[in-house]
Amino acid sequence: MKIIAPSFAILDHLDQQSLAVRIEYCGRICYKSEDRITQESALPFVAKMAEHGHNSVLEMGVVTLVVSAEEREINELFLCQPKYLHISREESRLLLTGSIRAFRELLLFYPSCAVVRSACACLNERHPYFFSTILPAGGLAAVPSITVRKVALEEVEQMPADLLAKHRHLAVKFIVNRAVTHEIVRHRPCQYLQESQRYCRYSEDKFGSEVTFIKPMFWEEGSEEYTIWQQAMQDTERHYLRLLETSTAQAARTVLPNSCKTEIIVYANLEQWRHIFKLRCAKAAEPSMREVMIPLHEEFKQRFAGIIK
């Protein structure tokens, strides 16, 4: 049995990577298969995710586009009631920020929409592996009256505060207990990927053949309460490892408690992070949540002082 403290890491280094590299890194968190990442593994991984429709993984790649179109073409897009997109409008110019999933689903359900076709044609030219299995008959061609340009991250970060809050996304990896993740996944709209107890077998060597638990902040180490908790976790690990001898991981996990360590990536725009901090740093918030959210809030305030307060 291993006991560790909770922690977090802002994954801004991924912002400098390609969409494929970013998505693979986040996707492998679920199965704890980061050891399989190589210089050539990203494209096959994301192509497989797209082919099998693993949408939650494809949500970890977000792009911003500038679209110029005629009034009727813009209205046609809004009639599609686009999901998962953040849209800002300035006359005939649209600023669209969305995940690969968002653009794929628009193409699947509204292939005749001119703005959808043009936006996806732009993305398909740069990232064909995301769209190869869902292209309409005859392929994708941009509409002459519509111009689409991908916006670089550096340009997004120069936007006014209201646009920056809406279109700048940032991912954070938390290492916390399951009680914390049960609460944090209630926030919308965010994207999540979490370590899967259904597939991870903690009896394997890469996990040290043991279960890892998050140290509870409620009791002092060595106190009677802490000793009771520690004994309960030892008993749980013993039962879990015994069940794995004859059962699948998804069956054995039914004995695992909230104290189990888990890794979760939360990906959201600054507007949503601001809302998360307002709720999860408040005095009434769950103490284990505040344990990680308060220091994370301080880091966000330093980076985005005009937006996060």
Q: What was the pLDDT predicted at 142?
A: 81
Residue 188 confidence (pLDDT) above 90: no
pLDDT digits (tens, 9 = 90+) for 160-181: 999 999 999 999 999 999 999 9
Residue 171 pairs with which residues in a beta bridge? 267
Structure tokens at 212: 């890892």
What domains, with CATH codes, occur in the chain? 2-12+168-303 (3.30.1360.170), 18-160 (3.30.1360.170)
Q: Is residue 200 within 8 Å of 32, Cβ to Cβ?
A: yes
Options 22, 28, 253, 280, the catalytic residue: 280
Residue 226 confidence (pLDDT) above 90: yes
- Please state the rounded mean pLDDT for residues 24-44: 95
Nearest of 110, 8, 129 to residue 61 by alpha carbon: 129
Q: What was the pLDDT predicted at 93?
A: 93
- Under the banding of pLDDT at 50, 70 and 90, the label for residue 69 is very high
Residue 151 confidence (pLDDT) above 90: yes
Residue 70 confidence (pLDDT) above 90: yes
Q: Is residue 99 within 8 Å of 62, Cβ to Cβ?
A: yes
Nearest of 185, 194, 12, 165 to residue 86 by alpha carbon: 165
Residue 223 confidence (pLDDT) above 90: yes
Q: Is residue 69 within 8 Å of 94, Cβ to Cβ?
A: yes
Task: Answer yes or no: 280 catalytic.
Answer: yes
pTM attached to this predicted model:
0.95
